[in-house]
Structure 1
């Protein structure tokens, strides 16, 4: 019986490592593409084959995966957006970009996914390989949000959804019923730091799945690093949409949050849309 081969399109951080390790635990082969200035090249040690490319080398990426007989591709890990603005696309990638009205994350990723699938390369959610990193619903810390934090979560939910629907970002920060920071290309940690400078301690981070987003790619994520940044900036509560989001280093992150009195909630539409 032939062993299935999984392909990883790897950005930065630990996410690609978790996918590679999870796939190997399932008895699958793993090959991966990493990108200069974005991917931790130590990932090569976790794979059966690895290639380093520049962002935009779409033809080489497709040829690599097809040569290895890849059946499913997982997109895992962050791409530094400011650095990615300086990429040099090959002719195939350039043609795709010319077709796009919007250059937002979701538009680009959806177009790339369609191009991969036109070559018989199925794009799959990372949660099919490592389901244990999904965010559960409900309060996941010992302490529960206070009345103001619940109010800020509910206040921020529809606004975060609206920003997501415009493919701007996945998160915003609220304090006492006021939006104090909106995520842009700088990412969640930088948004938290900006909110701390503007509004001081007691901010609430709301992070959601974009309406209409392809749930195989660019899922909202939080974890230990997020909690560490919240401690640095004095943020008191994190709400991240349950089901269609990722939570890394859950045990350590929750323990650290409990130690510092930070509350974490897996948000659901039913809970957030209650009057």
Structure 2
């Protein structure tokens, strides 16, 4: 499938891995950086302004892009999302305020971009797992200490909670203590969620030691596979260790583990259990 690949790059550890994997797969690669990146040596990096979608289309055409991947975290204010979605729908960007309020602005609503990008550039949007399948989390114990008996129900409930908030296009993650929901991800992202949980634990409101704090990440039910699959990496493990979370559960086959060797080393160091869970297992 190798061709000419443009990577829409946000923040985080996934982007350099995507570049390496794409080049190893034989692609000619350019990066459209939606946030500043100074860690991408040996590849063409173009600064991309999400407020100028026609400029992005031009960059895709000039590069003769055949495939597009989205990698890394991208945080857009509602106005930027609304303008982007209108562009994807072919709507007038000067629509009145009442119409603007009616435009959905969640991540899943951005799925319409695939069609307009295909129409205007001929490029196909693909998931990063298509060029780097080793990133996908499998089922069962992945790394860190073997889990204690009796905690499976807690991490399944955490994953189900993440699915519920995902269906509302709020976030991809939730933290539970036993069967009690402690906090869920919002627009601030997973790192912010973990920090909030740590603040609650330090205030004595969560994580008293009788039940472990469980972080679960799951793909939104309505989310297209090419857009922002839930992921964890070394930073996730470090943040969990600093904030009292001792189990990380990810949706098997629909979540990514970035820098797996480092994740495993840190999971062992901090006694963080990482598991892949499929809700289809019953």
Q: What TM-score results when the alignment is normalised by the length of structure 1?
A: 0.87
State the superposition RMSD in angstroms.
2.3
Out of 181, 188, 199, the position equivalent to 1:179 is 181
Equivalent residue runs for 1:188-199 within 5 Å: 188-198=190-200, 199=206
SS at match of 1:184: coil
SS at match of 1:143: coil
Deviation at 1:259, TM superposition (A): 2.1
Out of 148, 151, 156, the position equivalent to 1:149 is 151
Cα distance in 1 between the residues matched to 2:262 and 2:250: 17
Out of 28, 53, 77, the position equivalent to 1:58 is 53
SS at match of 2:91: helix
| Deviations 1:47-98 (CA, angstroms, capped at 9, x unpaired) | 2x332122221111111111111100001111134xx457495884683876
Contact 1:149 1:237 in 2 (8 A): no
Change in CA separation of 1:246 and 1:46 when aligned onto 2, cut-off 3 Å: farther
| Deviations 1:105-149 (CA, angstroms, capped at 9, x unpaired) | 1112x0222211122121011111122211122101252222343
Deviation at 1:154, TM superposition (A): 1.9
Q: Is residue 40 from structure 1 mapped to residue 50 from structure 2 by the alignment?
A: no
Deviation at 1:13, TM superposition (A): 1.8
Q: Is residue 210 from structure 1 mapped to residue 212 from structure 2 by the alignment?
A: no
Contact 1:54 1:87 in 2 (8 A): no
Q: Is residue 247 from structure 1 mapped to residue 257 from structure 2 by the alignment?
A: yes
Gap runs ≥5 in structure 1 = none
Gap runs ≥5 in structure 2 = 94-98, 201-205
| Deviations 1:155-176 (CA, angstroms, capped at 9, x unpaired) | 2222221111111110100002
> Mean alpha-carbon deviation: is it higher for 177-186 or for 128-137?
128-137
Number of residue pairs aligned between Structure 1 and Structure 2: 263
Change in CA separation of 1:133 and 1:52 when aligned onto 2, cut-off 3 Å: same
Out of 228, 231, 234, the position equivalent to 2:241 is 231
Cα distance in 2 between the residues matched to 1:14 and 1:258: 20
Could you say which residue in structure 2 is the equivalent of 1:200? Answer: 207
Cα distance in 2 between the residues matched to 1:39 and 1:132: 27
Could you say which residue in structure 1 is the equivalent of 2:6? Answer: 7
